[in-house]
Structure 1
Amino acid sequence: MRFFTTEGPVRPDRHYSLPPLSRWDLAEVLSLIDQEKYFLLHAPRQTGKTSCLLALMAHLNQEGRYRAVYANLEGAQAWRERLAEAMATIVTDIATSAQVWLGDEERPRHARDVLSTTAPGSVLNVFLSQWCQQTPQPLVLLLDEVDALVGDTLLSLLRQLRAGYPQRPAAFPQTVILCGVRDLRDYRIHASSEREVITGGSAFNIKAESLRLGDFSAAETRTLLLEHTQETGQVFTPEALDRVWELTQGQPWLVNALAYRACFKLPAGRDRSRPITLDLIDQAKEAMIVERVTHLDQLAHKLQEPRVRRVIEPMLAGLTPETVAEDDRDYLVDLGLLRRDGAGGLIVANPIYREVLPRVLASGPRDSLPRIAPSWLKADGTLDPAALLDAFLAFWRQHGEPLLKSAPYHEIAPHLVLMAFLHRVINGGGTLEREYAIGSGRMDLCLRYGAVTLGMELKVWRDGRPDPQTEGLIQLDDYLAGLGLDSGWLVIFDRRAGQPPIAERTDSATRSSPRGRSIRVIRA
């Protein structure tokens, strides 16, 4: 029986899948190959790049006009800038791939001969040139994980390909496709001899195109999910189908991971007589986030990179970044962490990522929290919002100041500490949803616990700015209206210089919003 997969290239005989070649413009790709072009395929991790390359290789070899070989170069990454060892690994891996995919038993011996007689700086060039002269059909080389290489190794690879380019197709590959997460412009190569930065574009200026593999469309997401129904008879409710698209926005790994967990891991989902419901999809989403599954953990690790922080920190704070280089913005889009919306602005790529980012950043404060008795629960286990407010005010007065230092992003340190506290609250079975965007000037939180829904808006009072209460009451009105609530919290963190200690300035008062809602204004 087939299943949803998140591990490596898809196998249609084992995995639910979309035809890989349907996910890009095959006519354009074949035209580039016919024109002897060298080009790139890039997309975020785990979006199906390798599956597409393998399908293209099979298509070309079956057609018979070209000999196509796929090779993964990631093994050479371990050698870093040890050029001789790295280039030997690259040549050996390409030769082994030719043996595996084409049955070319001569290629490994040929590689050993070249490696024993040729300097590292030209070994790939010589190997490919001799190989192409020995084969009747033009060679198409599909090189995966190229951007895993670093420094002189990557620089040498690009320059050897560039040096052989004029000899194509008789004495060098007709087409080389370089594949990785990032576009070539973002290959920043630090030459070990001079330490200057060389961009990938300058080292490989023969590139004709950069093709980006997109996420699934809403229709493709639905088609993939319904393969499970066709295979097993188990249906997805319409709400569940919509929820998968809403949560993932078609990110292939997330679609497969959500569906696999809902259909194959959750006990209710394994019962094929029961439908996959919206509730099962939400359970699967929450479990993935809590467990920090590998894909989300890799994403979280990126948050420590300075170029990522320069964009994400102000976004979480609702600020507009002062000056962020275009390369940094493009880098986050290439990673798949952000996307450009219809208006051209940057937003988090999907709701799951939007949930993961602040959760990860709040993990430090969360781990630093003292033991807190759940005084916000009534005797019957339901949430008492008034008691929750009292508990938070007491917590903030006593622990707010030192916990701010445990937050990795200074601009949103108060937000992270509050979220860490609220995670203690929902450990008993609630959820915490977050809304934020560049330039919004706020972060919105929605805490759900049983029958209780509590909407909050977080604002920061900064030096040189007016008291944000008036603006916050107007914005919170809109947020509460969307939640169908007639009351909520407006939390104002005073980050101006020269303020009294947190314990002295923390208080709360009830105010009325412009639309008559009862708002608890918390100044912290």
Structure 2
Amino acid sequence: MPRRFNVAGPCKPELHYMLPAAARVLRARRLVADFNYFVIHAPRQTGKTTSMIALAQELTASGDYVAALVSVEVGAAFNSDPGAAELAILDDWRLALAAQLPPDLRPPVWPEAEAGARVRTALSAWTQAAPRPLVIFLDEIDALQNETLISVLRQLRAGYNWRPTGFPASLALIGMRDVRDYKVASGGSARLNTASPFNVKTRSLTLGSFTRDDVALLYRQHTDDTGQVFASAVIDHAFALTQGQPWLVNDLAKTVVEDILNDEPRPITVAHLEAAKELMIQRQDTHLDSLAERLREPRVRRVIEPLLAGGSLSDVPQDDIRFVVDLGLCRFDGPGGLVIANPIYKEVLPRVLAFTATASLPHISPAWLKPDGSLNPDKLLDAFLAFWRQHGQPLLGSVHYHEIAPHLVLMAFLHRVVNGNGALDREYAIGTRRMDLCLRYGGPHPVTMGMELKVWRDGESDPRDEGLAQLDLYLAGLGLETGWLVIFDRRSGQPPIAQRTTVEAATSPQGRTITVVRA
């Protein structure tokens, strides 16, 4: 069977292209050798499970340990009933361990125990029966919540003192978040009802994203198997789009090979990657869809909303910022501060947030097109003004992120304009109170348009002059001499949108011709 790029579940070397998995967690091997308890946390779909399965297999094959990965995810169905959760977890472990270990290394029959002590009792019995030190990797720990999470953590803490002869010599909790951030309920604000539910951890490790060289090594495996080439420029672009996020790296290549090129062995180009990126975003693959679900959580919104609007994060709790980083939605960009994790997510997030507005758009005749199919910017402006005056007010109420509702409605309109014949790029900058848009439209005469969006709120001065100066810098980077400055007036007591929407011409500080839209 030919190998494929994997986007679902742990990688298997005989089926999937993959990097040496255990090599990604070398520090974990040292912690195991010292009989430590520790945490592995990283965003979803970064290879945690694959890496820890590989490490468990290597440890067992060495003859020095009995090592296995088991999950507690099935216990999430009983987050307020620890006893029922324990039974489900232990039953699932039995199946998982039968697939991983030979009969002489598997645990004995789980002994009877009271609810709230079954996990500890089972691990203790297996430790005493095992012919070598027992190493357990406990996956999906943050699927548990409430009393069940507290119970499991306390049982592990209680058994720690009796390692390595009475309890696993080494144990790792694997999930998206560091244990210090586990809440009574996912997304809740209260901490667990104990000061230190797992204060025996020695280290918290995380899995980084792939480097550019990692991406090249992964894609080269496909070239070696099939002869299909990813040129150096293509690898550079793949890394730029994904920033090495493992699931995106795999799905981008899989979409190119299987969906864009239909398994034809043609060389892959940057244009193919761009087409694949658009297809991934449009169909909202499972991983991207799970990110969309996260955007509804209040603590995620508290970070993402000002980030998209170019606002300040000064009032955002540190725990919320850490939470979105642990989820993989954002990353720290050195001196650039907090940013959206990668360009694909930068496309996905606003499109998801604007989905309802996009679905609510009325039929709009493409009056902005010339007879030859190219874009007429003047007609586009007329069409937007007419659309905004008639539909802006009701559409603003359809957007969940109220602070950036005008931005999202405008983007929904522009996506209707692009409609597969171009692209809409976005730039955000914390603290600048702006969002920049670049509309690129194809056709016989390609057009590039630069826009800057500003919001005028109560207590603030007119942002026109600041916006003109900021737009100068953005247009200079695009090589353009004209652009739009769109100012959304969100001050209280203003006339209806249909009455206050106006347009005027202005000249920027560097002499560019700017169309100022007051909406």
Report if TM-score (shorter chain) is over 0.5: yes
Distance 1:190 1:421 in 2: 38
Pairing partner for 1:437 from 429, 451, 455: 429
Q: 1:433 to 1:95 in 2, by over 3 A?
A: same
The TM-score, its normalising length taken from structure 1, stands at: 0.95
Provide, for residues 169-188 of structure 1, a one-character-per-residue CA deviation record: whole Å limited to 9, x for no partner: 01110011110111101111
Structure 1 residue 271, shift from structure 2 partner: 2.2
Whether the 8 Å CA contact 1:473–1:514 is kept in 2: the answer is yes
Structure 1 residue 30, shift from structure 2 partner: 2.4
Pairing partner for 2:223 from 229, 232, 235: 229
Distance 1:333 1:41 in 2: 15
Provide, for residues 307-361 of structure 1, a one-character-per-residue CA deviation record: whole Å limited to 9, x for no partner: 0000111111111034111111100110000011112611111011011111111
Matches within 5 A, 1:335-484: 335-343=327-335, 345-450=337-442, 451-484=446-479
Q: Aligned residue for 1:271?
A: 264
Q: Aligned residue for 2:203?
A: 209
Whether the 8 Å CA contact 2:215–2:244 is kept in 1: the answer is yes
Distance 1:418 1:304 in 2: 21
Q: 1:473 to 1:210 in 2, by over 3 A?
A: same
Of all paired residues, the percent bearing the same amino acid is 54
Q: Aligned residue for 2:184?
A: 189
Distance 1:64 1:84 in 2: 35
Structure 1 residue 432, shift from structure 2 partner: 0.8
Structure 1 residue 190, shift from structure 2 partner: 5.9
Q: Aligned residue for 2:18?
A: 17
Q: Aligned residue for 2:84?
A: 85
Distance 2:400 2:327 in 1: 21
Unpaired stretches in structure 2, ≥5 consecutive residues: none
Distance 1:392 1:211 in 2: 50
Distance 2:264 2:17 in 1: 19
Whether the 8 Å CA contact 1:189–1:200 is kept in 2: the answer is no
Structure 1 residue 108, shift from structure 2 partner: 6.8
Matched, 1:304 2:296: yes
Unpaired stretches in structure 1, ≥5 consecutive residues: none
Matched, 1:518 2:513: yes
Which amino acid letter does the alignment assign opposite residue 469 of structure 2?
Answer: I
Matched, 1:5 2:33: no
Query: What is the SS of the residue equivalent to 2:161?
Result: helix
Matches within 5 A, 1:19-418: 19-24=20-25, 26=26, 28-104=27-103, 110-111=109-110, 114=111, 117-189=112-184, 197-198=191-192, 202-267=196-261, 270-272=263-265, 274-343=266-335, 345-418=337-410
Number of equivalences: 513
Whether the 8 Å CA contact 1:73–1:90 is kept in 2: the answer is yes
Provide, for residues 62-89 of structure 1, a one-character-per-residue CA deviation record: whole Å limited to 9, x for no partner: 1111100111221121222222210012
Q: 1:388 to 1:346 in 2, by over 3 A?
A: same
Which amino acid letter does the alignment assign opposite residue 164 of structure 1?
Answer: G
Structure 1 residue 103, shift from structure 2 partner: 2.2
Whether the 8 Å CA contact 2:292–2:352 is kept in 1: the answer is yes
Whether the 8 Å CA contact 1:151–1:189 is kept in 2: the answer is yes
Which amino acid letter does the alignment assign opposite residue 247 of structure 2?
Answer: W
Query: What is the SS of the residue equivalent to 1:246?
Result: helix
Matches within 5 A, 1:484-499: 484-499=479-494
Structure 1 residue 428, shift from structure 2 partner: 4.8
Structure 1 residue 129, shift from structure 2 partner: 1.2
Whether the 8 Å CA contact 1:362–1:417 is kept in 2: the answer is yes
Distance 1:76 1:341 in 2: 37
Distance 2:504 2:324 in 1: 41
Whether the 8 Å CA contact 1:511–1:519 is kept in 2: the answer is yes
Provide, for residues 73-126 of structure 1, a one-character-per-residue CA deviation record: whole Å limited to 9, x for no partner: 211212222222100122222233333212237957612xx2xx3111111111
